[in-house]
Amino acid sequence: MSYLSANQLKQYDDKGFVSPIDIFSKYRTNEIRKEIELIEEKMPEELNKSGRYNAHLISPLLDEVTHDSKILDSVQSVIGENILVCGTTLFIKNPNEKGFVSYHQDAKYIGLKPYNWVRAWVGITDSNEHNGCMRMWSGSHKNNLKDHDQMFNESNLLTRGQTVNNVPIDKTTPLILKAGQMSLHHPTVVHGSDLNKSNDRRIGFVIQSYIGTDVKQVLGENSVQLARGFDEFNYHKTIDRPKSLMNKNDLKVKKQENGNLQKIFYNGSRKIGQY
């Protein structure tokens, strides 16, 4: 069992994140990495750009991560016992690319309300300051949503380059994780990440997000999977778990889900070019 301790919950409440939490062995994360890299080898475009969303729908190992009972114990400590999976993202930073993530608040653009949800960032490789780990502005979740500028930059891993200005970057906390550890972060904590300056890939698999059954999608439509407990509200369409690796039908479902997600991301814009 991996329910959060009172100290860990206090850290989450005070800072807006809790980290590190031990989940998988190094052996297990190597297996997961191999499955991700097999998909990249067999279907080179499948996990690129907007394809990085919802890889758990075509990969049985990422599906297992998403429904892992240790992860769900920790998540339950934060959002309660009725838990839905509402999408995932692979955040991969390759060594010779200039990928970064501008400082942002997830709640600003994802359309999930009320904020009874949490993001789980699972290290498939180590993640540290050298290879561009996430950095959190501790305590920033306690204030309202901040203005975000939309700063398109092809190296920014965020769709619209959503950016909170004037973040005191020297005061942000690096979330240093070993492969197999995870962090949980709050919907309104300001966070981002820098370049990967190492010789290996940095791979994070993010369940974006685990939501309570009372949470609605107010900007569009998301399909969900029941991860634990009971859905007494039925606000969302449900979606099947993958039948096998890169199964034809599952690939279609992933494509459709990712189309819906793009609509959510762009619905958040009051007009093109403005957040």
CB 195 within 8 A of CB 100: yes
Quote the least distance from Cβ 132 to ligand AKG, whole Å.
Answer: 6
Quote the least distance from Cβ 101 to ligand AKG, whole Å.
Answer: 4
Give the other-Cβ count within 10 Å of 152's Cβ: 10
Q: Does 137 bind ligand AKG (CB under 6 A)?
A: no
Residues 12-71 that bind ligand AKG (CB under 6 A): none
Q: Does 167 bind ligand AKG (CB under 6 A)?
A: no
Q: Which amino acid is at 270?
A: R
Structure tokens at 114: 């009320």
In the complex with ligand AKG, the residue whose CB is nearer, 119 or 236, is 119
Q: Which residues lie closer than 8 Å to 173 by C-beta, 6 or more apart? A: 15, 17, 135, 136, 138
Q: Does 206 bind ligand AKG (CB under 6 A)?
A: yes
Answer for which of 106, 126, 250, 257 binds ligand AKG (CB under 6 A) is 106
Distance CA 227, CA 15 (A): 26
Structure tokens at 6: 């009172």
Answer for which of 24, 109, 117, 121 binds ligand AKG (CB under 6 A) is 121
Answer for which of 88, 156, 163, 193 binds ligand AKG (CB under 6 A) is 193
Q: Does 210 bind ligand AKG (CB under 6 A)?
A: no
Q: Does 91 bind ligand AKG (CB under 6 A)?
A: yes
Quote the least distance from Cβ 77 to ligand AKG, whole Å.
Answer: 19
Contacts 24+ apart (CB under 8 A), 244-247: 244/60, 245/35, 245/38, 245/39, 245/58, 245/59, 245/60, 246/39, 246/42, 246/43, 246/46, 246/58, 246/59, 247/58
Q: Does 134 bind ligand AKG (CB under 6 A)?
A: yes
Q: CA 58, 62, 64: angle at the middle one, nearest 5?
A: 110
Q: Does 78 bind ligand AKG (CB under 6 A)?
A: no
Answer for which of 57, 72, 101, 167 binds ligand AKG (CB under 6 A) is 101
- Residue numbers of the site for ligand AKG (CB under 6 A)? 91, 101, 106, 119, 121, 134, 191, 193, 204, 206
